[in-house]
Amino acid sequence: MRSDRPKRRSGAAVRIVTAGICVLILVLAGVAITGGIEADRSTARLARSGDLVQAYLDLTRAVAVQHAAGEDRKRRTRPRTRQRFDKAGVVVARSLDVLGRFGDPADRELRARIEVYERLFTLEFERYFDALDANDIALARTFKADGDPWAEVLQGLVSEGGTAQASESLREINALRDSQANALRFTAVAVLLGLGVMVALWLVLRSLRLRIDDATEEDLQRLQHAALTDSLTGIRNHRAFEEDLATALANLRRHGTTMSLVMIDLDELKAINDSDGHQAGDRAIRTVGDRLSDTLRAGDSVYRIGGDEFAALLPEASTWAAFNFAQRLHASLESDGGGVTVSVGLAESNMLSTRDGLIEKADIALLEAKAGGRDTVVFLSGMERPDLTDSSEDRRHRGTLASALARAVDAKDSYTRSHSETVAELCALIATNLGLDGEHVAAVRLAGLVHDVGKIGVPDAILQKPARLDEHEFEIIKAHSALGHRILHGTDLSHEAPWVLHHHERMDGAGYPGSLVGDEIPLESRIIHVADAFEAMTSDRPYRRGMPDGDALDELRRHVDTQFDPACVGALLSGLGVEPAVAAAT
C-alpha cells in the first residue's frame, strides 16, 4: 500500500502541473492575441493617419497652385492656368473627401471650415478669371483682392490641420513602435516562461520519478528483508542462513580464515507448549532470538532455522570464541529468570570444510548436548553421530547424571557458575587435539563436567569466601577431589572417578592427593588439570579479575613439565588456534 502513495501523488502532481501549463499557455495566448490586435489597430491608425497627412499635403499643394494661378494674367497662358486651377480644385475636393471619411471630429470640423473658405476662395477666383476673360482688368484685380484673404485663411487652416495630423502620425508611429516592442517583450517573456515551465515540469517529473524509484527500492528491500527474516523473532531465517553459510565458506576458502558454526536448540519447547500454551512457547522462542541478538559481536549473524532450532555464524572465530559466545548466551538467558534454556553444539570450519560436513559436525555436537542433559554446550570433533535409540539409554543416563551433578556444583559455588561446563568443553578440545577417539573424548568430557563434584561436601562459607583462602581452608578444599571420587565411584560414572581423583596432581609430584609424578598421572587427569587451570585463570574471582587468554596461555607455558603436561598444553594451544612457537616466544 505504501508504494501506491508516491504513484498517486505523482499522478496528482502531474495533473496539477499540466493544468498550470494549460492556464499559462492560455494566458500567454491571450497576451499574444491582445498584442496582435493592438498592433493591428496601431497599424490601421497609422495607415489612416498617413492618408490624412497625404490629404493635407495634397490640399496644401492644391491651394498653393490655385493661389498661384491668380498671378498669371497673360492671355496666351490663361487656358492652361485655368486648367491647373480646376485640377487643383479636384485635388482639393478629393482631399476634403478623405478628411471627411477618415478624419476624427476635429478633422471633420476643420474640413467644414476649409470647405467654406475654399468655396469663397474659388468663387472669388472664378469671378477673377471671368473678369480677365472679359478684359476687365480693374474688376479682375478687385476680385483677386477679395479672394486673397480667403486664400491666406485657407492656407492657414490647411497648414494647421497638416501640422496637427503630422504630430498625430508621429504619435501613431511611436505607439506602433511601442506595441511592437511590447509584443517582442511579451514573446520573449512567453518563450522564457515556456522554457521555465518545461524545466520545472522536467524537474517535477524527475523528482517524482526518483521518489517512485526510491519507494520501489524501499519496497524491494522490505520484501527482501521479509523474505530473509523470521517473522516471530525478527532475526534472519533458514533461507538467509543457507545463503550466508555458502558465502562464508567461499570467503573462508578464498582468504584462508576460520569460522565457527553454532547450532542452538530451545530445550523442552513441546513441554512448554503443552503445559502453558503456544503463546508461552512463542515467548520462549522470542526470548532466545532476543538474547542471541544481544550476544552478537560485530560481523556475527544469528538465525532461526526451524521451530525450536537456531544457528549462529561466527566469522574468524575459533571454537573457544564460539564457546564463549555460547556461555554468554546461557548467562543472558539465566539473567532473564524465565527458565528458558538452550542446548548448543559447536563446529569449527577450515578451508576444506563443506556445507554438509560443517552442519553435520555441529548437529552431532548438538545431539550430544541434548543427550547429556540439555542446557549444555558441546564441541566434540571427529565423534560419531550419537545413537539416540533405546539401546543407548545407559549413555544418555550417564550424560544426564553428569550434567545434573555439574549444575549442582555450579549452583553451590556462585562465583564459578558454568565453570564445570567450560572445563568439560576445554577437556574435549584438548582430547580431540591429542588424537583420542570419539568415545574417549566423550568420556573425558564427562569427567571434566563432574571434576569438581566433591565441592558439594565443602562448606559454603569456604566456597563463597570473597578473599583468598587460608592454609586450613585450603586443606579442606583439597579434600574435594577424593570426595568426588567416592561420589562417582558409586554411580554409572565410576569409570571416570579415578580421573577426577587425580586432576590436581602435578608433573613434578607436588600435587594432591597422591603426589603422582609424570606418566603416573592418568592422561585424562592431566587433561582436566590443564583445562581447569586455564578456565580458573581466565575467570573473574571476588578477589581478582580474570587474565586475558594470552596471559593465561603464557602462564601454562611457563609451568610446563613442573605443573602441566606439555602435550596437553600444546593440544590446548592448537585447539585455541595459537602456534606453540609463538606462545613460547612470548
Output the pLDDT for position 1.
46
Which pLDDT score is estimated for 510?
Answer: 92
Element (H, E) at 312: strand 309-315
Residue 87, phi then psi, degrees to nearest 5: -65, -40
Q: How far is 534 from 112, CA to CA, in rounded Å? A: 134
Q: How confident is the model at residue 110 (pLDDT cuts 50, 70, 90)?
A: low
Ramachandran category for residue 577: left, alpha or beta (phi over 0 → left; psi -120 to 50 → alpha)? left
Burial of 412 (0-12, 13-18, 19+ CB in 10 A): middle
Residue partners of 368: CB distance under 8 A and separation at least 6: 345, 378, 380, 383, 386, 399, 442
The cell numbers describing 79, all together, are 487656358
**Least confident interval from 221-225, 232-236, 261-265, 447-451:** 221-225
Residue 505: how many CA atoms within 13 Å on its side-chain side?
Answer: 25
Instruction: Give the whole-angstrom CA distance, residue 219 versus residue 111.
Output: 86
HEC string of 520-554 equals HCCHHHHHHHHHHHHHHHHCCECCECCCCHHHHHH
Selected residue with higher pLDDT from 418 and 458: 458
Can you list the domains of the chain with their CATH numbers? 4-220 (1.20.120.1730), 229-379 (3.30.70.270), 385-586 (1.10.3210.10)
Check if the beta carbon of residue 102 is closer than 8 Å to that of residue 169: no
Candidates 171, 133, 140; CA nearest to 46 is 171
What single DSSP character describes residue 564?
B
Q: Give just the sign of the alpha carbon dihedral 525, 527, 529, 535.
A: negative
pLDDT of residue 198: 77
Residue 503's pLDDT band (boundaries 50, 70, 90)?
Answer: very high
pLDDT at 392: 52
- The C-alpha angle 313, 316, 320, rounded to 5 degrees, equals 85
Q: Copy the grid coordinates of residue 15.
A: 495533473
pLDDT in tens, 122-167: 776 677 677 767 777 677 677 667 666 766 766 676 666 667 666 6
Amino acid type, 76: R
pLDDT digits (tens, 9 = 90+) for 306-339: 889 999 999 988 888 888 898 889 888 988 888 8
pLDDT tens, residue by residue, 230-286: 888 889 899 999 999 999 888 888 877 788 999 999 998 888 888 889 899 999 999
Q: In this predicted model, what pLDDT tens digit does every residue of 353-411 receive, in sequence order?
A: 788 888 998 998 888 888 766 777 777 654 444 444 444 555 666 666 666 666 666 66
CA dist 46 and 379 (Å) reads: 108
SS3 for 258? coil
